[in-house]
Amino acid sequence: MKNHKLTALVLSVLVSFSLLNCEKDSEEIFETNQVITEKAAHVCIEKWDATDGSKAASLKAKEWQTGQTIRVKFLNGNNFVQSKVRQYAVAWESYANIKFEWVSSNSSANIKIGFREGQFADDGGSWSYLGTDSNNQAHSMHFGWFNNNTSDTEFRRTTIHEFGHALGLIHEHQNPVAGINWDKEAVYAYYAGPPNNWSRAQVDNNLFRRYEANISNYSAYDPQSIMHYPIPAEHTTDGVAVGSNTQLSATDKSFIATIYPGTTTGGGNCDGVAAYNSNASYAVGDQVTYQGNLYQRTASGWNNLGACESAPSADICDGVAAYNGNASYAVGDQVTYQGTLYERTASGWNNLGACGS
């Protein structure tokens, strides 16, 4: 592919400006009887440090330090798939007091991401080591089905899910208080086939095993969690299904804030906090919103923590390299140029908007 110099970039921007079509992130409402594509959905496997004796016993030990900057690098992958992972991974920063720093492939990093190509061409799955186990792995996270044709919904769903594991979160269907009424024989039969080809023991470990409550951090069971496998109705004895969750749930947001509390890099101070309910009982430490303010329950009343603040807008140019006149770009690659984000198309460059928006 020929290099596109500055003049070509500017000209194609003018031509393609009117053709720009931005995909919106839909805020879909989960319904318990929703069955989208559960049986065809890709699912991931949690990975564990083989030197770690007991899986569940070390869950709490896998958390990063609150406020830590976690260094992340890509081992391979084109600019497009890399930019999509960066775009959606930072969703956690709005609710957890951590920060992802994206570093070059030859830098030291805590999380190391691979895609299905080159030395990883035979790995079609997606997975991540849990939390700080990533430090001990040369390849700690993998996206086996991402390519230039992957939808934004799938990029978002899988990226946020795997980074949840990287922050130490387990699968939600293995929550100690999950009460899923599995039809085990139906589940065994389904996962024995492609693309999983799991044994009964693997199904037991990946789906039916639940973590012990006394050694794991957990919240109330949340079927809307981004960390939940999709479950078709025929995999349960009571016909209850779980849809393919594609974004952080309210419980995901509040729960990760309890694991990594403090000032975050994103969401507003009232984000995820329920409005005051005069019929509810509150314990010391509970927070509510009331008439545009955030309050916290104390032993003697309510403490006003201040006005609700809006979350700052994410910068669409975060992590995207500047245009290089000597580089070759493929369809889907993104660059910044004079304060604006552009994406390569088959015929030129699309203007995706000003940086900082």
144: domain CATH number is 3.40.390.10
Helix (H) or strand (E) holding 188: helix 184-191
Checking if the pLDDT of 111 tops 90, the result is yes
Q: Is 278 found in the same domain as 230?
A: no
Q: Is 90 found in the same domain as 168?
A: yes
Whether 327 maps to a domain, the answer reads: no
Q: Is 204 found in the same domain as 235?
A: yes
Q: Is 142 found in the same domain as 109?
A: yes
pLDDT digits (tens, 9 = 90+) for 335-344: 888 888 787 7
* Owning domain of residue 48: 38-249
83 three-class SS: helix
136-145, 204-213, 271-280, 295-304: range with highest mean pLDDT: 136-145
**CATH number of domain containing 299:** 2.10.10.20
What pTM did the predictor assign? Answer: 0.61
How far apart (Å, rounded) are the C-alpha atoms in residues 69 and 248?
A: 21
Whether 201 maps to a domain, the answer reads: yes
Whether 186 maps to a domain, the answer reads: yes
Whether 11 maps to a domain, the answer reads: no
Nearest by Cα to 235 from 297, 284, 290, 187? 187
Domain count, the chain: 2
The alpha carbon torsion through 273, 276, 282, 288 (nearest 10 deg) reads 30
Q: Is 231 found in the same domain as 293?
A: no
How many angstroms from the chain centroid is the CA of residue 235? Answer: 25
For residue 285, the model assigns a pLDDT of 64
Which tokens in the block code for residue 103?
């570093």
Q: Is 165 found in the same domain as 281?
A: no
Q: Is 195 found in the same domain as 91?
A: yes
Count of Cβ atoms closer than 10 Å to residue 271 Cβ:
19
How many angstroms from the chain centroid is the CA of residue 287? Answer: 25
Residue spans of alpha helices (H) in 229-352: 250-259
Checking if the pLDDT of 355 tops 60, the result is yes
Nearest by Cα to 231 from 144, 173, 290? 173
Q: Is 152 found in the same domain as 113?
A: yes
For residue 173, the model assigns a pLDDT of 81
Residue 176 DSSP label? T
Return the higher-pLDDT residue of 39 and 32: 39
Return the higher-pLDDT residue of 188 and 55: 188
Return the higher-pLDDT residue of 65 and 53: 65
The average confidence (pLDDT) of the chain is 75
* Upstream peptide bond of 195 is cis (omega within 30 degrees of 0): yes
Q: Is 299 found in the same domain as 175?
A: no
Residue 29 confidence class, pLDDT cut points 50, 70, 90: very low
266 three-class SS: coil
Return the higher-pLDDT residue of 1 and 303: 303
pLDDT digits (tens, 9 = 90+) for 198-239: 899 988 888 888 766 654 566 678 888 898 888 889 999 998
- CA angle, 306 as apex, 304 and 311 as ends, to 5°? 140
Whether 60 maps to a domain, the answer reads: yes
- CA angle, 265 as apex, 130 and 28 as ends, to 5°? 75
Whether 156 maps to a domain, the answer reads: yes
Return the higher-pLDDT residue of 7 and 161: 161
Residue 43 confidence class, pLDDT cut points 50, 70, 90: low
Q: Please say whether the dihedral angle defined by the alpha carbons of residues 260, 207, 149 and 112, taken in this order, is positive or negative.
A: positive
For residue 78, the model assigns a pLDDT of 92
Q: Is 186 found in the same domain as 82?
A: yes
Q: Is 242 found in the same domain as 117?
A: yes
Q: Is 92 found in the same domain as 210?
A: yes
- Between the two ends of the chain, the Cα-to-Cα distance in Å is 31
Residue 137 DSSP label? -
Whether 315 maps to a domain, the answer reads: no
Count of Cβ atoms closer than 10 Å to residue 49 Cβ:
19
Compute the average pLDDT of residues 1-26. 34
Compute the average pLDDT of residues 49-59. 37
Checking if the pLDDT of 189 tops 50, the result is yes
Whether 23 maps to a domain, the answer reads: no
pLDDT digits (tens, 9 = 90+) for 305-336: 777 765 544 556 766 778 888 888 876 677 88
